[in-house]
Amino acid sequence: MTLNTTMKRFGIIMTIVVVTTLSLIFRYHLRFNTGKSLLKYFKPSANQGGVEETMQSLLLPPRSTTNSMVEDRTLLYLERNNTMLQGCSIINQSIVDHGSMLRYLPNRITVHPAVNILFCGVPKVAVTTWHEILRSLESNLTKIELNSNPNFYSFIRLNTFGTRQKSLLLNQYFKFFFVRNPFERLLSAYLDKFQGLNGGVYGKFASFLLPGMNISLEIAEFCNKNPFQCKRGKFTEKKQFHRHLAKQVTFPIFVRLFTEDNDPQHPIPSALRLDPHWRPITELCQPCKIQYDFVGHYETMAEDVEYVFRESGLSEVVSEIPVSSRTVSHAASHMSSYYNQLSLNVIVKLYRYFRDDFLLFGYSFKSTLQLITDKLIEDDQIQNLLKE
């Protein structure tokens, strides 16, 4: 590659960054000054309390926010956006005009017309909480139901609209999604779907991950341990048996989904490989194809939720912001114990699978390695492993 070509590419990237930054500043300013237009959607019914009262079960006490704090957060979010733009350039994708890809919109984007919002829900990134919040807002705040676990498919999805409507919604609505460290999100999904109660659903895939598994022996072992859930040597509680199977899938076995090629002798269903709970976020939300207004981080959820409410205009209506008081997730506290079960070569293969998420959302592979392994790894060793 010649020096001139390199300089031209650098010039193009910097032009994109500058134009997008100015565009975002203008759009944030516009939204901040037009937020009051959303007031008409939040009228408490006559027999209900005010907004503050109905949100009380969901909220933490409000924090004072100075102008300098807002400016600092704005600069941080602009930096995040620039990181995403540069990442898209590196992986040879660019943010394009909405009209050129309306036929291929990801099905994770839900439409919330009562609050002028498009939300791309990413599993294992507080998506259920966000759906609860959005459902409550759409219900005019007459009732807040925490842990209601609203079904994703009960929301209106953007890809069900016609081309003209999609274009209007993408241009006029506030669009956002949240991300999480790819390795932490992956572990969270594993603990939930294979070691938790959801094993009753995902246990049916255990035989694909463990092709040598003898189902007859597993049934016999299950019935010996759980005699009241079996009758004549056969299980009567399918979900309980599937949970038993799911627990046989260790973390190193689960990780093979992403680090090894599919064995034609024992093919793994695409439904398992492409499950949204561990599918890369760049594939779920297509941030290189859709120009989102905001990308939040799970690690700074409280501050980012406040920012979403302010920039979407909702803070003009809701005086307190729904945020989580939890600062460290269950998965984050167990990262080292699980990832230390993997060899360094497997971890590097796993990084390659989720590389785009690391790259676009500003997560450092080196910093993540320091969190998940007790091995001392030098910079040049990391670079050599990535080149292999």
So what's the pLDDT on residue 199?
Answer: 63
- As a whole number of angstroms, the distance between CA 133 and CA 83 comes to 28
So what's the pLDDT on residue 36?
Answer: 33
Low-confidence ranges of the chain (pLDDT < 70): 1-70, 94-104, 140-153, 199-200, 228-229, 231-238, 315-328, 375-376, 388
351: three-class secondary structure by DSSP: helix
Distance, CA of 387 to chain centre: 28
So what's the pLDDT on residue 96?
Answer: 55
Taking the CA of residue 185 as centre, how many other CA atoms within 13 Å lie in the half-sphere pointing to its CB?
26
So what's the pLDDT on residue 44?
Answer: 29
> What backbone torsions phi and psi does residue 281 show, to the nearest 5 degrees?
-65, -35
Residues 6+ apart with CB under 8 A from 266: 208, 211
Q: What is the pLDDT of residues 199-220, one digit of tens each?
A: 667 878 887 888 777 777 777 7
Distance, CA of 264 to chain centre: 31
Taking the CA of residue 68 as centre, how many other CA atoms within 13 Å lie in the half-sphere pointing to its CB?
0
- As a whole number of angstroms, the distance between CA 50 and CA 364 comes to 44
So what's the pLDDT on residue 119?
Answer: 95
So what's the pLDDT on residue 377?
Answer: 74
So what's the pLDDT on residue 151?
Answer: 59
